[in-house]
Amino acid sequence: MRGGFWKGRRVLVTGADGFMGSHLADRLVGEGARVSVFVRGSSTVGTTQYALKNIGHLLGRLAEIITGDIGSPDARHLAIRNRPDVIFHLAADAYVPNSFAHPLEVMETNVIGTLNMLHAVKEGRRISRIVCTSSSEIYGLTIGKAIGEEHPLYPSSPYAASKAAADRYAYAYWNTYRLPVAIIRPFNTYGPRHTYDVIPKFITLALAGAPLTIHGTGRQSRDFTYVDDMVEAFLVMGSHPDAVGRAVNFGTGKAVEINYIARAVRRIAGSASRIVHTADRQAQVPKLQCDFSLARKLFGWRPRIGIDEGLRRNIEWARENPGR
């Protein structure tokens, strides 16, 4: 990323109060960007309310706080009115089990929300880049070892299907309308402020001395990337000219078994928690391992924080911020 690229640039981050979005908003503000955020609001008679759980410390440093439902047509008009140079679109319903019971709601947020932001770019005209956030879950039941961008898409849950649809819509809008679209495909990301998924759950349980519950055998594996490395990936996709028109994987290239994560969290936390196994999770994917060679070739990107160091940082933060 070129030095000073973000200084003074108008940036809109959707989903900015979530785990990944909050870290990205933090970094962009630190880089001198004029950051606006789109967060879900709740309405009462005559008022619009919002409660910021992760970016409250940025109040007073944000250009605008936009509230609304990303799946509503209003979201498009709100984004256009904000007049950003770059949109980072992260707003999503990202908790996979929620999609089992609420597949239509998840589709509305993940697919229609993405289409709303794509149309904001199409109709707003002055927006120079939109980074659409995809997911490694779109690959589903994978073939072979590390997954490259040309791997077939076999989404195995309604969530994964919604992200695959949004990913391909984003590509289609670049291909059809030549919109300045870049698609980032992050593999499993962890770190401070994350509240769901296996690593934050294990950390919370370990610090409380409670049993660490593993769904299935624990032999299933994921490519876990620390949040600081993934923020760099987002910034690259938002700034590098070669990102436009591409979908790019970002991960560590290493598949780590859930059994290892449980043992490592317990060891690093100094916990006496037992490790127990329960029934396998619905729509479980056995393995996700990233081939990030395209990111390395195009941008010189590579992960810098290994799993043990990342867990140590995450556990230290959790100790200092109980209940978050």
Q: Is residue 3 part of a domain?
A: no
Average confidence (pLDDT) over 287-313: 97
Does 13 have pLDDT greater than 70? Answer: yes
pTM of the model: 0.94
Residue 2 lies in a domain: no
- Is 163 a domain residue? yes
141 within a domain of the structure (yes/no): yes
* Separation CA 206–CA 316 (nearest Å): 12
Over range 105-128, report the average pLDDT.
96
Q: Is position 4 within any domain?
A: no
Region 240-260: mean pLDDT is 97
The string of pLDDT tens digits covering residues 171-187 is: 999 999 999 999 999 99
pLDDT band at 42 (very low <50, low <70, confident <90, very high): low
Question: Please, which residues have CB within 8 angstroms of residue 274's CB and are 6 or more apart in sequence?
Answer: 211, 212
Q: Angle between the 198-208 and 307-320 helix axes, to the nearest 10 degrees?
A: 50
Q: Is the pLDDT score of 54 beyond 90?
A: yes
Burial code of 234-257, b = ≥16 C-beta within 10 A, e = fewer?
A: bbbbbbbeebbebbbbbbbbbbbb
pLDDT score recorded for residue 3? 67
Its domain, for residue 23, covers 10-320
| pLDDT higher than 90, residue 96 | no
Q: By mean pLDDT, which of 34-43, 111-120, 233-242 is the weakest?
A: 34-43
Average pLDDT over residues 293-315: 98
What is the rounded average pLDDT for all residues in the chain? 94
Classify residue 324 by its DSSP letter: -
Using DSSP's 3-state secondary structure scheme, residue 94 falls into coil
Band (pLDDT 50/70/90 cuts) for residue 47 is very low
Task: Give the per-residue pLDDT at 46.
Answer: 43
Confirm whether 164 is domain-assigned: yes
d(CA 30, CA 226): 19
Domains in the chain, number? 1
Domain contains 295: yes
> Is 192 part of any domain?
yes
What residues pair up with 67 in beta bridges, in sequence order?
39
pLDDT above 90 covers a percentage of the chain that reads 86
More confident residue, 91 or 2: 91
CATH for 303? 3.40.50.720
Structure tokens at 15: 């989903």
Please, what is the Cα angle at 310 between 95 and 143, to 5 degrees? 55
Residue whose structure tokens are 């598949």: 255
- Residue 2: pLDDT band (50, 70, 90) is low
Question: What does the DSSP assignment read for 254-311?
Answer: --EEHHHHHHHHHHHHT----EEEEPPPTT--SB--B--HHHHHHH-------HHHHH
